[in-house]
Amino acid sequence: MIELIARHAIGEKVSGATLVANDGFSARYDLDRINGTFSRPAHKLAGLSYVGKILVLDTAKGGVASAWMLHEMASRNKMPLAIVFNTVNPILVQGAAFGGLTMLAGFDVDVTATIPNGAAVEIDPQRKSLRVLD
């Protein structure tokens, strides 16, 4: 069983399927927020739906626009279930809090190389843990 402990965590306990890529995340430039898909052609998850998935990505990109876009996505039920990053910036953490999004970040390993794509995982922010259930 794989269990990872993060340095940073916010949100509620959730379980779901992962969508994993060694790529960044910008709510403004990477997503079609109307259809709930990754839309930037060069993104490794281009064309895939992020809605209801636990995203496991390398780093957060963007600034204030990404933060308020997370809230806007939540208002239309077009949100990932959670986002897990190797590194995150403070603005996206604020956006996660504003949008009610569970987020973990800061691990001793590269999460994009450790967590399998499509794996069932449980995220417990109180314990700062990510556990692979498969």
Global confidence as pTM: 0.95
Taking the CB of residue 69, how many other CB atoms lie within 10 A of it? Answer: 18
Domain 3-132: CATH superfamily, name plus number: Phosphohistidine domain (3.50.30.10)
The residue to which tokens 């204030």 are assigned: 64
pLDDT of residue 70: 87
pLDDT of residue 51: 97
Banded pLDDT at 77 (limits 50, 70, 90): very high
DSSP secondary structure letter of residue 49? B
Beta bridge partners of 102: 82
Q: Are β-strands 14-20 and 102-105 bridged in parallel, bridged antiparallel, or unpaired?
A: unpaired
Separation between Cα atoms, residue 13 and residue 29, nearest integer Å: 28
Q: Is the pLDDT of residue 62 over 90?
A: no
